[in-house]
Chain A
């Protein structure tokens, strides 16, 4: 029962994720939805999974394999999602650096002020870069520790 509840929560999360991702990729959203709904069905109606297993010529051991596969797949998906977020952070730092290095417009009365020249701006960008680098090095440090 505990395993069924845990798997249902995980599969529900995948379904929610699929719904959110629909605008970006309808195909992925559809496939993820079908997989998560099918998983939910077999989790709560294991007899049908056994019948299906018998139908395709596989014994009951497939249940364990199937559940394990579902768990591993979810973790892999989560991991990919987190990696994408990390890359997005780096892209953000890069885009911010570009934006601050060359402001698109500075009012005329400020443009002549040397203290306000575009080149003097990205002080905190370097801080952001250090922050991102720090997070990366901490992760590497965690791995080597």
Chain B
């Protein structure tokens, strides 16, 4: 039904060594009628083969660059294919396909160019306390640095209109892209809206996710970019 509402909707999955989950994620997205592009970020396993077999378009980086770089590649690919709406979706299975229609509805209802998922407006399952605090600290940092009134600054489930996607250019290859995209949204002056979504944490997604040390790296990356911009 979603494909009927948005015939040019593309879902972008950045994947690095996600052979365990990518097949199921792509299959579910395809069953919902979405066009899917998986950006294989130099995986050493069979991620690209499994994604292709499940029905996704696959674009493969020759080397591992990071999630930010992979998302930008996916955005370029989808825009090149004429996408009108783009959705970024994690490959580790922690997002729900059923949340995508809510993002699209919010874009339409609010006449927005960005619909940003929020686990704190919605629900989480198995979110560790330490990670909750870290995410909330990141949200406070984002509010101070961008002025965006968000409740969840590092949620990978987002929907962008073509205009919104064209307005951002991710230069942070790794995890700092999640903050960078918000800075770019703030600078674009385009309308954004937050949407409640559900994040299902599993042992697999937690093992693949960010660590506390990564937050230091993200801050340094953002600081360094300011120095040579």
Contact = CB atoms under 8 A, between A and B. Distances in A.
A119 to B, nearest CB: 11
A18 B80 CA distance: 41
A64 to B, nearest CB: 27
B216 A103 contact: no
B217 interface: yes
Nearest to B69: A92
Given A82-B224, A88-B173, A99 B62 contact: yes
A108 B129 CA distance: 45
Contact of A123 (B59, B60, B80): B80
A91 B58 CA distance: 20
B224 A122 contact: no
Contacts, number: 89
Interface stretch (B47-55, B120-128, B182-190): B47-55
B4 interface: no
B203 interface: no
B76 interface: yes
A16 B73 CA distance: 31
Interface of B: 39-40, 48, 51-52, 55-63, 65, 69, 72-73, 75-77, 79-82, 169, 171, 173, 213, 216-217, 220, 224-225, 227-228
Closest 9 A/B residue pairs (Cβ)? A105-B52, A124-B76, A105-B58, A104-B60, A121-B80, A104-B58, A82-B228, A99-B59, A123-B80
